Amino acid sequence: MTIKKQPGAQLISSSNSLPNPHPIEFPIVGIGASAGGIQALMRLLQGMPADGGMAFVVVLHISPNYASHVDEVLQRSVTMPVVQVFDTTPIEKNTVYLISPANDLWLSEGCLRVTPSDQSRRRPVAIDLFFRSLADAHRARAISIILSGMGSDGAMGIARIKEQNGINSCRTRWMRNTMTHDHRNRT
């Protein structure tokens, strides 16, 4: 079968995404973790240069019943600014953004946007929601890192990032054991 292309038309296939109407010209790294991943998150961000040209968006499973002070803890150990997101926030490179408790976060039109989490859900999905929006908005420049967790939150999001030719990374049990062992040896 032959496909005829009209003059001036563009053929789009599943491997050729539509143009992004709101391009951000730097990589965005989405990081998902349970509350038990805060130490790994600190080590990861401590290894990043303050002027590396990327934005980091952290989605943690934290209790909606308490105020979070993770932003303060991170700011003491990270050279980049750390911002806890409570409302629509333009995303900038060389900044760490942190989800606020009891909220979901997504990326749209160059901004991080916040909505209250649906507390009736049976399982957490905040990481999936953010990673899917990151993939849809940022396509091949989307990067995801899963540091810890017990459930499947993040699995659908990393699949969407893979579909958009982005980069995915997960911290494995071997990495957890090695990092913990190396950290003990250095202290």
Active-site position among 34, 68, 117, 148: 34
The answer to whether the beta carbons of residues 153 and 32 sit under 8 Å apart is yes
- Rounded Cα distance between 99 and 119, Å, is 16
- CA distance readout (Å), 118 to 45, 59, 64, 156: 29, 16, 11, 18
The yes-or-no answer on residue 61 being catalytic is yes
21: which residues sit within 8 A by CB, 6+ positions away?
none
Active-site position among 22, 61, 63, 148: 61
The yes-or-no answer on residue 138 being catalytic is no
Active-site position among 117, 153, 182, 183: 153
Residues tagged active-site = 34, 61, 153
